[in-house]
Every structure is written in structure tokens, then in C-alpha cells.
Amino acid sequence: MKDVISNELGEIIIENEVIAKYAGSAAVECFGVVGMASVNVKDGIVKLLKRDNITHGVNVLLKDDKLRIDLHIIVAYGVSISAVADNLISNVRYKVEEFTGMEIDKINVIVEGVRITD
């Protein structure tokens, strides 16, 4: 699926994979986020993703010319999940809107696990 921005000069086409990678990179920069998570629906197993597979923890959907982003994350043990989620939403919204020029309708944060960090 592709997101299309039209203006007087023509069209800009952005692949969802590009937006997902940018949103995932912005997400892992946030305090309290250990990484993105991939869920094996069949087995119900959650896996911490490496930096090169970060897009598997992000779903991007274009609806009514607005983006909807789902972020599947793993948080650090001992942090406030609501504070991490609020910071994450704010950071990802700002960076993705600036990057794409598109408005974000909703960002859903799904906490898939907690990890003890050193």
C-alpha cells in the first residue's frame, strides 16, 4: 500500500514500509522503550526485533487522507507505561508528520512485554 500526497507540482508517493521504518526508529529513541515487538499470532510468542527488522512492529494505515499507526513495543522494567506511551505518541507524531507532511489521526501503543535492562 502506498500513501499519496498531491500538490500543484504533482504527486508524492510514500510506501507504508518507509513510514513504518521512520516511525519505528523514532519510537526506539524514546526513554523506556527497549525495542519493537513482533508477535507470532499462531503461537502467541512475542519477540524483540533487531534494528533491521523494526518495521515488523509497526502497522501503518491510510484512512481518509490521515495516517493511523500501531506501535508494538517492549518497555523497560520499572518505568511508568503511561508516561512512556505519552512520550512515544508525542515524539512519533511530531517526527512522522514533519517527515511525511501528512496528518496522523491516531497512534495506538500496544505494550507486548516488559524487559529488565542492565
Q: Which three cell numbers stand for residue 94?
A: 511530531
Compute φ and ψ for 43, nearest 5 degrees. Answer: -100, -15
User: Does the pLDDT of residue 32 top 70, yes or no?
Assistant: yes
Distance CA 6, CA 59 (A): 23
Distance CA 80, CA 32 (A): 8
Half-sphere exposure of 75 (CA within 13 A, CB side): 19
Kindly compute the dihedral angle of the four CA atoms of residues 90, 29, 51, 48, in this order, to the nearest 10 degrees: -80
Distance CA 118, CA 54 (A): 22
Sign of CA dihedral 26, 115, 83, 60: positive
Set out the domains of the chain in order of their start, with CATH numbers: 2-115 (3.30.70.1350)
**Which of these, 105, 15, 99, 117, lies nearest to 68 by C-alpha position?**
105
Mean pLDDT of the chain: 85
Convert the pLDDT of each residue in 69-115 to its tens digit: 999 999 999 999 999 999 999 999 999 999 988 899 999 999 988 98
Q: What is the mean pLDDT of residues 51-58?
A: 76
